[in-house]
Structure 1
């Protein structure tokens, strides 16, 4: 493999560079999404449809804690990309060391109370009735592995910030493949049920962390763990926090959304509606993988060139990323509008779920062709270190617009109102993001045409 340098982010053609960054990110996200998708299919077919709902209850809690790692990773990686672009390797190393310390401190401090108050947390997130017991089994075991997952999510973003997307892809492939193999062995062969599903997930996080540690200890990385400063430095922590808060807030909103949706849908349609939402949620993770890949590939390119003062390349990266992501979003839209029934049958043969899920899926993905502007626009402000607009734009879809809509629309349309809240929120968020992105480009990037 040819040696890849972070300096390539400032030299290679934007289109070629975006593909080079986005394809490995997309493959990694695809495999991770397939892992979640197939894991859900295994659980639904080998354990039962209620087990799908049980995992859906656990995800927002475990992913929120793990998202601390992602938040610290993305916040710190924005600093690292700009530091490498400005030839300030010392700051990059210090930031990396502080990321490791913060991730460990915060995740462990949240896992402990998460285990203590398990019997209160699960019902609060919709784990009621027949869902409670399998959700509790899965929750306790998976929470043991959450610090490992958080370190993986943090390390993965740093690898990408170095301009090493292939290694970031490998870091996503290893736990995904490992989880599926362990699912088959522990659930299908040994018949361990929810215990098998949970231990397969936790073990896969450990495999991922082992690979990431190898990367940073090897000659492949510019940021050596042995050279990092693990002692927290307040200016670095504050900058990581301000930028990482954007990602953490997004995941917090996602977790709140799961909590609200599980409870609202349980009250409207019982376990069947919660299961339908779980299936639709898996498709949201899976179907958007190429668009998220473009977004992940875009982040280090925009951050590096902004740090280097090359605003022409920043503008070009925005335009190119939106074009690529919009084209892929259109293909995703067509696929989901045509095949929702077949997709649902992969998960379950439960007739009630088969009746409810396909129309819900069509409503949820109605605005998919336009979401590229919203995702790239929010990512841009995070990449260049502008935390407040990044925070606001990131929270638009699932926080500022979506949460009020799932309370208002069901008053008039019942359960249908819950599903149509998705495209309405997407449309409103895209309009607002397009305005702020256009304003930013006009005022701050076009005003520096010579750079």
Structure 2
């Protein structure tokens, strides 16, 4: 466990952000690897995988419910020096991750084809996306366990093990993807099914490696079977913090779905270009997001310790660093969009759509960094409802006008991207305003010691596994 209630906040952020970034980039690279290696199968395959990957945003929303709740509550417990509560939250989150993973497999198998039919431009895209989703679903199910394990470590200030595991999983995915997709070296090409299978195998190996780390090395939080009995009071605590944050990802899913829907009139090449562009932009924004996520546990531990001044300082420092990083990458995207897109498609129309998308939508990167930072601070404070409200405002102001614009005779795809710039700016203003109010409300009289509604685990469960 790393105590984040003392020492330089900037140093803590800069120490935690790179490993977090590597872990997140690894997740994004897995999706880009799939797009890259299926590009040789045609626009329908690329559009299908890109559209199916959008379903990952919905599953990510559920993952965030567990991840955010786990980080916030364990970080608060660490700040209060309440190790028993940290272990109880961890073990209950593990139980929830198993239930969520099983539910994902069942629901995904039932709804993959109806989902693809609702957004795909043609039948070939429907078939490609459905096939990919069915083979990719085990990876999404296993990600729940990966999310909880990595979140528990991050809450205690430890981020390197998750980074290493993510990097190794990406390496496995990169190695398997060309073999399974095109049959390189085996003669058995699986096509888009191979892309999903490669990701599922890579995530499975990653989960096993993190489990091994917890069993052999982790000491502050650990597996205690006696604490696996479902406790609704603890689930309520985790979900109370996590559900609004998960709702934010649902909003992103809706925005992405609307984007694919309104671009359907332009054909699969437009949808493919949009899918590639959104994933590349997400990858480019990862450094700023990593900085914001590093600020979350720092704010959480200091909030639990009753140090309001350091909570405020964490926000200011993280926002400044994220802004500086976003400006650098904004310049890169504006000057070299073609270089960033090299290799993802051989179709000129697809590349043209992706390039135009990057040039326009990247203009909101600086304010997006501010949104990331505000969101992480709300998580650190243990109240994520404002994040849901600001995201809902963005969905309403973006989705309905986008669908309306698509009915115009002279509708062009860039119309909705310009609209996106305005709605993201509005969300940033609302986020800062609500965070200021949250600071005034929650940092004036910080709780000291143990919150009355928290339940202490049975003393019979050992908190430390003695080394052999």
TM surpasses 0.5? yes
Find the aligned partners of 1:439 and 1:63 in 2 and give their Cα distance: 29
Q: Which residue of 2 aligns with 1:13?
A: 8
| 1:438 paired residue among 427, 433, 436 | 436
Say if 2:338 is the partner of 1:350. Answer: no
The unaligned stretches of length 5 or more in structure 1 are: none
1:92-171 paired onto structure 2 within 5 Å: 92-126=86-120, 128-171=122-165
Residue 323 of structure 1 pairs with residue 320 of structure 2: yes
Residues 254 and 245 of structure 1: CA distance in aligned 2, closer, same or farther (over 3 Å): same
Instruction: Give the aligned partner of residue 403 of structure 1.
Output: 399
The CA distance in 2 between the partners of 1:377 and 1:118, in whole Å, is: 34
CA displacement at 1:314 relative to structure 2: 0.8
Confirm or deny: 8 A CA contact 2:119 2:264 kept in the other structure. Answer: no
Shift of 1:395: 4.2
Structure 1 partner of 2:205: 207
Q: CA deviation at 1:119?
A: 3.0
Please list the CA deviations of residues 178-234 of structure 1 after superposition, one character each: whole Å capped at 9, or x if unmatched.
111111322241433212211101101101111121122122341111366112222
Shift of 1:344: 2.9
Distance 2:387 2:418 in 1: 26
Q: Does 1:303 align with 2:303?
A: no
Match of 1:313 in 2: 310
Q: Would you say the 8 A contact 1:62–1:143 is kept in 2?
A: no
Q: Aligned equivalents of 2:432 and 2:57: distance in 1? A: 29
Question: Is residue 60–residue 249 contact of structure 2 (8 Å, CA) maintained in 1?
Answer: no
Which protein is richer in helix relative to its size?
1
- Assess, with a 3 A threshold, how the Cα gap between structure 1 residues 70 and 438 changes in structure 2: closer, same or farther: closer
Aligned residues: 440
C-alpha displacement at 1:442, in angstroms?
4.8
The equivalences for 1:46-65 within 5 A come to 46-65=40-59
User: Which of 18, 23, 27 is the matching residue for 2:18?
Assistant: 23
Q: 1:195 to 1:38 in 2, by over 3 A?
A: closer
What is the SS of the residue equivalent to 1:358?
helix
Question: Please, which runs of 5 or more residues in structure 2 have no aligned partner?
Answer: 447-468
Alpha-carbon distance in 1 for matches of 2:346, 2:424: 31
- Please list, as runs of the form range in 1=range in 2, the aligned pairs for 1:377-396 lying within 5 A after superposition: 377-396=374-393
Tell me whether 108-117 or 425-434 shows the greater mean CA deviation.
108-117
8 A contact 2:74–2:89 mirrored in 1:
yes
Distance in 2 (CA, whole Å) between partners of 1:128 and 1:248 is 31
Shift of 1:313: 1.0
> Following the alignment from structure 1 to structure 2, what is the Cα–Cα distance between the partners of residues 421 and 209?
40
Find out whether 1:419 has 2:417 as its counterpart: yes
